[in-house]
Structure 1
Amino acid sequence: MKIIAIGRNYAAHAQELNNPVPTTPVIFMKPDTALLKDNRPFYIPDFSNDIHYELEVVLKICKEGKHIQEKFAANYYEEIGLGIDFTARDIQSRHKEKGLPWELAKAFDNSAAISNFIPKANAGNLYDINFELQINKESRQQGNTKNLLFSFEYIISFVSQYITLKKGDLIFTGTPEGVGQVLAGDHLEATLNGEQLLNFNIK
């Protein structure tokens, strides 16, 4: 399986990091070694002094497809969940300044925390999903999928023009505004339409 992530898919998040709002999806990838499952703790790596959280709705691809038309893309995912794209912001900033790829900042071990997945039918209107991250019981990020720049179906169609999607692949669909640093000792909880899906510690 592979992890495909969409950057800057909420305008307010692009703006908070002083990035232009994209006109086509910004794509990057994480290896399967980035997965952090079952609410296991996240250990801050020693190569960064500024690890940021980015809460996202995650799609799980249910069948193989390439060159998928947008009108059929909804057939390629049946479950959704939540994920946190942990980002070494200090490394990312240095690489952006030099025009270098982001992988060292985005693809390191355990940088993709994921929840259990729920049937998308249980989420109601997929373009009115509320999701929230609390750190130490304080709300840090609140998002709603109505604010996506690129829809789930558009993302699937766009990515599949370049990369064949396979069953079990995960797509991180972008983070809303409110990203920030995590510190050792923090406790993270994330909900989707009020249902808690993530609940783990930073060490």
Structure 2
Amino acid sequence: MDSMHIVRFRDGERAAYGVLEDGVVRRASGDPFSGLTPGTEVGPLEQVTLLPPVAPSKIVAIGLNYLDHITQDAHGFEQPENPIIFLKPPSSLLAHGGNIVLPQGTERVESEAELAVVIGRRARYVPAERAYDYILGFTCSNDVSARDYQFKDGQWARAKSFDTFTPIGPAIATGLRADDLAIACRLNGEVRQQSTTAQLLFDVPYLVEFISRVMTLEPGDVIMTGTPAGPPRMAPGDVVEIEIEGVGVLRNGVVAEELPG
């Protein structure tokens, strides 16, 4: 596929695909997996109601995949011998521009900047050297984590699965390789995480091979590749941005949960 930035947006009552060109969203015919053809202009990116750029059947996340995160942040963990995989539900997805909701009862919720891989076709037993044949592209993601629940539970499902805890977007960038892409997290404009995908302990091709030996990856499935050191704690009123070289900037506000009734 040629290089493009694919978005998904709300078009009346339905979801539609578009292509982002020079900050402007253009409606597109087709779909990302068989090919898109840009058409008429919809409007500037920040004036379009974006959806998560893909609707995955599953989100496969990787823990402890940057050495500095293990040594500086993840106290009590050692460098893993193989990728540590866990699943996040599609119900946790949040689009660019949406608000991360801090659940009542949580004491420490952190933002984690991560490169996300979007699968382009069904993948099972894929060797690493063929991984890019199965990758549609890459997007920015934020593996929001309730640290108090994570350490209390001894496993990560509850801490990372609340609604709004998986912001991704704004677009899927095609035609890239993930060998050495700069990645950063900014909280209220201040850089809090900064690294490059060259620092991944297990690189993208290896992750595709490893995960596809465990489970079938379907078109649209997402692999979140892990976060570098320094994930910041968030509070209501904050704005968090995840920026990845060649991909874009994912921006979300932060609000406190308001329970019904």
Kindly name which structure, 1 or 2, has the bigger radius of gyration based on alpha carbons.
2
Paired residue for 1:5? Answer: 61
Provide the identity percentage: 31
Paired residue for 2:185? Answer: 133
Structure richer in helix, relative to its length: 1
CA–CA distance in structure 1, aligned partners of residues 173 and 210 of structure 2: 23
User: What is the total number of aligned residue pairs between the two structures?
Assistant: 197
Paired residue for 1:165? Answer: 217
Paired residue for 2:23? Answer: none
Residue type matched to 1:143 in 2? S
TM-score (ref. length: structure 2): 0.72
- Give the drift of 1:191: 1.6
Paired residue for 2:8? Answer: none
Matching of residue 142 in structure 1 with residue 194 in structure 2: yes
- Give the structure, 1 or 2, with the largest relative contact order (CA under 8 Å, sep 6 or more): 1
Paired residue for 1:110? Answer: 164
TM-score (ref. length: structure 1): 0.92
Matches within 5 A, 1:28-177: 28-96=86-154, 101-121=155-175, 123=176, 126-177=178-229
CA–CA distance in structure 1, aligned partners of residues 146 and 247 of structure 2: 28
SS at match of 1:157: helix
Residues 68/194 of structure 1: CA separation in 2 closer, same or farther (3 Å cut):
closer
Q: Deviations over 1:128-154 (max 9, x none)?
A: 100111111111111201101001010
Identify the match of residue 71 of structure 2 among 15, 35, 43. Answer: 15
- Give the drift of 1:195: 6.2
Q: Are the equivalent residues in 1 in contact too, given 2:170–2:248 (CA < 8 A)?
A: no
Paired residue for 1:183? Answer: 235
CA RMSD of aligned residues (A): 1.4
Structure 2 alignment gaps of length 5 or more: 1-56, 256-261
Residues 60/194 of structure 1: CA separation in 2 closer, same or farther (3 Å cut):
closer
Residue type matched to 1:42 in 2? I
Residue type matched to 2:159 in 1? A
Structure richer in strand, relative to its length: 2
CA–CA distance in structure 1, aligned partners of residues 237 and 206 of structure 2: 38
Residues 74/80 of structure 1: CA separation in 2 closer, same or farther (3 Å cut):
same
